[in-house]
Amino acid sequence: MSSLLVDNIGELVTNGAGEGPLGIRRDAAVLVEEGRVVWVGPSAYAPAADRRLDAGGAAVLPGFVDSHAHLVFAGDRAAEFAARMAGEPYTGGGIRTTVGATRAATDDELRATVRRLRGEALRQGTTTMEIKSGYGLTVADEARSLRIAAESSTETTFLGAHVVPAEYADRPDDYVGLVCGPMLAAAAPYAKWVDVFCERGAFDVDHARAILACGQAAGLGVRIHANQLGPGGGVRLGVELDAASVDHCTHLSDADVDALAGTALSDGSGTRTVATLLPGAEFSTRSPYPDARRLLDAGVTVALATDCNPGSSYTSSMAFCVALAVREMRMTPAEAVWAATAGGARALRRDDIGVLTPGARADLVVLDAPSYLHLAYRPGVPLIRQVMRNGVTP
């Protein structure tokens, strides 16, 4: 059994015991064995190890956990982005454009895109990335999307209910039947989660409830795209179904915030559902950002993710989302870094990632900076010096 000591860490973000909400330790070291953290402590008292990685006084933090990404697609929508920047609104209507391109692509073309984007994210410090289907929308195309996604992640999500495809436009009930029946059956072997785009123009609350319940019955965990483009019942539906996460949360009522904060539960036990905010989407659609402060002040657990997709948010950079959250959503740098690491882990119901404490996976990043603060303070600068996943430098 070979061990590795990462030492001479000027500032270690553990998200566990330590100073402040990030559990910071200074002049620290981390001992790794068989892909796991086995010891964390002062660098001066570090145990001997077979190999050593000298962090040179830099900051080390848990690898980013990107809990929301749509990587299985073909083509891009750069022209749609340019039109938006010239004043066109975002409606989600472009999803069907990507569906057409995705259906026409070969398996190898889709695989190459997933690998390219997964590699791009990894180099930027993302050690866990959820990957959704949702641009196939036939039984065969959703199944192959998830088969390809599962080659790159264990966190795979069936999003057959992304939009109603054109061929079902005048019979959405039939499409919901397809999603709950043969499509779910074909997709479930490759999926861990089920998701629905619950929004005007996509799926209403009744359809979303039916699809999520079928997915749950097939053994999948629940997540939901909710309240992105306007108000609606999606967030409350997610809480009702004990979704791991409700994602976007841009247009929230007091009742939505209460439901997420758990105050609507009579026994006051609270909800486990995380609110995942996706500021890359508001950036790329030039929309008002979600009110993160309102959620945090109400005690809601907040995660940050990229929403990486060719339409509303074509970024794979968690550091960019951290910077947006701090500058545009008034999160503190500490809140944003927690949300992009431990928060993402909560949104995936994982306790082995997003933290650097004994027993956790050795997924970490060494920054080219003395503090996590620099992620927001130096936006757009490539600050990830080294990435380790499962104790190995990829």
| CB-CB contact of 55 with 9 (8 Å) | yes
CB of 70 to Fe ion, least distance (A): 6
Residue with Cβ nearer ligand NIG (94 or 221): 94
Q: Give the CA radius of gyration of the chain.
A: 21
Rounded Cα distance, 227 and 199, in Å: 7
Site string for ligand NIG, 191-210 (x = CB under 6 A): ------x-------------
Stretch that binds ligand NIG, among 176-184, 305-313, 316-324, 342-350 (CB under 6 A): 305-313
By CB under 6 A, tell whether 94 contacts ligand NIG.
Answer: yes
| CA distances (Å), origin 274, targets 226, 310, 343 | 12, 25, 8
Q: Looking at 111, 118, 209, 225, which residue binds ligand NIG (CB under 6 A)?
A: 225
In this structure, what DSSP letter does residue 183 have? I
Question: Is the separation of the CB atoms in 136 and 145 below 8 Å?
Answer: yes
Return the residue matching tokens 């790159």: 152
Applying CB under 6 A, which of residues 11, 256, 307, 335 lies at the interface with ligand NIG? 307
Q: Decide which of ligand NIG, Fe ion, none touches 92; Cβ closer than 5 to 8 Å per partner kind.
A: ligand NIG
Which residues define the annotated binding site? 68, 70, 77, 135, 162, 225, 228, 307, 309, 311-312
Closest residue to bound Fe ion by CB: 307
Interface segment toward ligand NIG; rule CB under 6 A; list 208-216, 302-310, 344-352, 366-374: 302-310
One-letter amino acid for residue 75 of the chain: G
- The residue among 267, 277, 388 whose CA lies nearest residue 343 is 277
Residue from 10, 233, 262, 311 touching ligand NIG (CB under 6 A): that is 311
Burial class (CB in 10 A: 0-12, 13-18, 19+), 270: middle
**CB of residue 68 vs ligand NIG: minimum separation in angstroms?**
7
At residue 100, what are phi and psi to the nearest 5 degrees? -60, -45
- Binding-site member from 128, 309, 317, 341 for ligand NIG (CB under 6 A): 309
The residues near 79 (Cβ < 8 Å, ≥ 6 apart) are: none
Residues 6+ apart with CB under 8 A from 284: 81, 84, 312, 313, 314, 315
316 binds ligand NIG (CB under 6 A): no
Binding mask 290-309 for Fe ion (x = CB under 5 A): -----------------x--
Q: Could you tell me the smallest distance in angstroms from the CB atom of residue 228 to Fe ion?
A: 8
Q: Does 312 bind ligand NIG (CB under 6 A)?
A: yes
Give the pair of three-digit tokens for residue 201: 């123009």
Which one, 92 or 333, has the nearer CB to Fe ion?
Answer: 92
Q: Are 65 and 127 in contact (CB under 8 A)?
A: yes
Give contact residues for ligand NIG (rule: CB under 6 A). 92, 94-95, 98, 197, 225, 228, 281, 307, 309-313
Give contact residues for Fe ion (rule: CB under 5 A). 307
